[in-house]
């Protein structure tokens, strides 16, 4: 069975022009090689496994308030609205795909968004 990291990697790298680099000791994914949109968190500052990602305005607060067993406010980037997603609970990978795509859309250039939208049209 694939690990959470391998599954997350496939979701992230399935988007246009995504590169993976190590950032702060963890795998992270960048749109166009420049802007980070997801960072894996393997017990990064707590005992949980998950990831941190860019999120549309208000999404972090809503999800953390309604489902704190699945979502959290990550350190360092939480004040900017980034969302933390636990992977050590039951995971809906279709939902993870939507969350990751939303994160990508938050940082991607117009050119990258056009490439993404042309694939899903």
Task: Decide if pLDDT at 93 tops 50.
Answer: yes
Give the whole-angstrom CA distance, residue 9 versus residue 33. 15
Q: What pTM, to 2 d.p., does this model score?
A: 0.93
pLDDT tens for each residue of 2-58? 699 999 999 999 999 999 999 988 999 999 999 999 999 986 667 789 999 999 999
Report the pLDDT value the prediction gives residue 53, as an integer from 0 to 100: 97
**Virtual CA dihedral for 29, 33, 34, 36, nearest 10 degrees?**
-10
CA angle 65, 37, 83 (to 5 degrees): 10
Taking all residues of the chain, what is their mean pLDDT, rounded to a whole number?
Answer: 93
Q: Which domains does the chain carry? A: 4-120 (3.90.1150.30)
Give the whole-angstrom CA distance, residue 70 versus residue 92. 11
**pLDDT tier for residue 119 given thresholds of 50, 70 and 90:** confident
- Mean pLDDT value of segment 49-71: 96
Give the whole-angstrom CA distance, residue 49 versus residue 46. 8
Percent of the chain with pLDDT over 70: 93
Closest CA to 70 of 58, 59, 56: 59
């Amino acid at each position: 069975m694939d690990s959470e990291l391998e599954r997350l990697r496939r979701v992230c790298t399935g988007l246009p022009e995504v590169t993976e680099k190590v950032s702060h000791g963890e795998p992270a994914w960048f749109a166009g090689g420049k802007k980070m949109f997801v960072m894996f968190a393997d017990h990064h500052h707590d005992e949980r496994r998950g990831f941190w990602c860019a999120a549309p305005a208000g999404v972090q607060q809503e999800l953390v308030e309604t489902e704190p067993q699945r979502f959290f406010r990550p350190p360092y980037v939480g004040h900017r609205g980034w969302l933390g997603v636990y992977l050590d609970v039951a995971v809906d990978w279709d939902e993870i795909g939507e969350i990751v795509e939303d994160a990508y859309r938050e940082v991607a250039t117009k050119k990258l968004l056009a490439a993404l939208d042309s694939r899903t049209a």
